[in-house]
Amino acid sequence: MTPNRELLQATACAIVDRLRSGDITPFDLLDTLEARIAEVDGKVNALPTLCFDRARAHATELMKKPVDQRGPLAGLPVPIKDLTAVAGVLTTQGSPIFKDHVPQQSDILVEKLEANGAVIYAKSNTPEFGAGANTFNEVFGATRNPWDLSRSSAGSSGGAAAALASGTAWLAHGSDMGGSLRNPASFCGIVGMRPSLGRVAHTPASKIDRTLGVQGPMARNVEDLALMLDAMSGEHRADPLSLPALPTSFLSAARSGTMPKRVAYSADLGITPVDPEVAKITKQAAERLAASGVIVEEAHPDLREAHDCFQVLRAFDFAISKAALLREHRDLLKPEVIWNIEKGLALTMGDIERAEAQRVAMTARTLKFFETYDLLLAPATIVAAFPVEERYVAECAGKKFDNYVEWLAIVYAITLVCCPALSLPCGFTASGLPVGLQVVGPPRGEAQVLAGAKMLEDILGVRGTTPIDPRSAAQPR
């Protein structure tokens, strides 16, 4: 079977319009995806688990409903990150411990998406338990970057990003603690958004009020991302942190044309080294706003405690959620996960008290910052895609990092201060690798982030560069 190239190149919004008009059906899309996966995923390894029989059975039931009752996605196929349970589908979390695990019940996030017209057809690859911003694991191996198959797709939503970039998905689900929606988006030239806490309901695990990780959308452009966020959003009684859906859709916000008045740009947020080429590309992208009448200034909130704060709170989260796995399956855990759990178990109450106070202080200063600026712009990653064999970035601009997550400070600082943020493609390195610009708004400010990102997307003209056929090497620009 040959995939339908016209469908593969179409936007998710256009696909949904065609589904609603009856011009195409979910079965047409599933056929095209199955053919495209057979064509390219052997090289990329983005979607190691497929469930097309389940997808077609769900599509059959969905098609029995009137068009206006098929939800905002209307039958659009969506892959789910392999950290999240889908009933009846292998869900490994990238770990040998769960290599044969098939859950009987879906996460409430999956149930929400299916109720809103999503058709689940695959699980996207992730590092073990989402730990580390390079997507490889002992169950399925590494996911490779479609722009250059020798490079990493980042992580932990690397499979989702690579699927979008290589044309095996129109929309995708991911999650983000230390940039796991934003890092892969930057490396793969697509859009990934970390929403505000509670914006997307999910099934609580280990702790009822975990506030570092969130679920979120990925897409090839801002409008499609907003469509996916609309389908994911809304409260659920099983998730006490979840927020009610807003009266105005995020897709409407993205299309509103609302311009920011004053925007800040920072190459490093005052806390991290950055590759000079990445800094130059992202700064030039930010400066393009000035030609549209937006005030662009170099500034950032005071985030000086971010390293200490994140290391403590991340370790605490690992200890709470994975200490039992360390006790029972230590021999099956990768070294980075063991290190993080043990670091968490060694924390004192004083460590946690200090970190929580630091987070409160940084968030207060950030809220004050957004009284002056509508948006904050920064690199989404401090480097472009690195060789896939390297487990993580160990050094940047002459600075050697102490551990496997320190290179992610430019995104985890934003996690700590509870802000929504997305990675928007903004240009390419001289060697042809994508670079992402991080667009940050105040807490619960997804609408202004999406409007500003759409404006930038129109100005920069990078939209439409994906999907691509996987490349053995990047193409110099």
The active-site residue, picked from 81, 112, 283, 334, is 81
- Catalytic residue flag (residue 81): yes
User: What are the domain boundaries of the chain?
Assistant: 5-460
pLDDT in tens, 20-65: 999 999 999 999 999 999 999 999 999 999 999 999 999 999 999 9
pLDDT in tens, 38-49: 999 999 999 999
Q: Please state the rounded mean pLDDT for residues 417-442.
A: 98
The active-site residue, picked from 156, 166, 175, 196, is 156
Q: Please state the rounded mean pLDDT for residues 123-145.
A: 97
Residue 100 exposed, middle or buried by CB count within 10 Å (0-12, 13-18, 19+) = exposed
Q: Are 256 and 249 in contact (CB under 8 A)?
A: no
Question: Is residue 217 predicted with pLDDT exceeding 90?
Answer: yes
Q: Are 461 and 140 in contact (CB under 8 A)?
A: no
Q: How far is the C-alpha of 9 from the C-alpha of 464, rounded, in Å?
A: 9
Average pLDDT along the chain: 97
- Closest among 186, 84, 89 to 126, alpha carbons compared: 84
Q: What is the sign, positive or negative, of the torsion defined by CA atoms of 252, 254, 257, 263?
A: positive
- pTM score of the predicted model: 0.98
**Which element (helix H / strand E) includes 16?**
helix 12-21
3-state SS assignment for residue 152 = strand
pLDDT in tens, 251-298: 999 999 999 999 999 999 999 999 999 999 999 999 999 989 999 999
Question: Is residue 144 predicted with pLDDT exceeding 90?
Answer: yes
What are the tokens at 209?
């009020």
| Sequential DSSP letters for 327-338 | HHHGGGS-HHHH
Q: How far is the C-alpha of 318 from the C-alpha of 343, rounded, in Å?
A: 9
Largest distance between two CA atoms of the chain: 62
Q: How far is the C-alpha of 115 from the C-alpha of 73, rounded, in Å?
A: 9
Cross-strand partners of 262: 295
What are the tokens at 263?
């925007």
Q: What topology is assigned to 5-460 in CATH? A: Amidase signature (AS) enzymes (3.90.1300)
Contacts of 289 (CB under 8 A, 6+ apart): 260, 263, 296, 455, 456, 459
What are the tokens at 357?
């106070």
Helices (H), 370-445: 409-416
In angstroms, how far is the first alpha carbon of the chain from the final one?
34
Question: Is residue 105 predicted with pLDDT exceeding 90?
Answer: yes
The confidence band for 427, taking pLDDT boundaries of 50, 70 and 90, is very high
pLDDT at 340: 97
pLDDT in tens, 76-101: 999 999 999 999 999 999 999 999 99
- Catalytic residue flag (residue 180): yes
Question: Is residue 477 predicted with pLDDT exceeding 90?
Answer: no
For 211-265, give the secondary structure using H, E and C: CCCEEEEEECCHHHHHHHHHHHCECECCECCCCCCCCCCHHHHHCCCCCCCEEEE
Q: How far is the C-alpha of 157 from the C-alpha of 79, rounded, in Å?
A: 11
Residue 402 exposed, middle or buried by CB count within 10 Å (0-12, 13-18, 19+) = exposed
What are the tokens at 188?
């793969």
Residue 330: φ, ψ to 5° = -55, -40
The active-site residue, picked from 152, 180, 196, 423, is 180
Q: How many CB atoms lie within 10 A of CB 290?
A: 12
pLDDT at 275: 98
Tell me the percentage of the chain whose pLDDT exceeds 70: 100
pLDDT at 1: 80
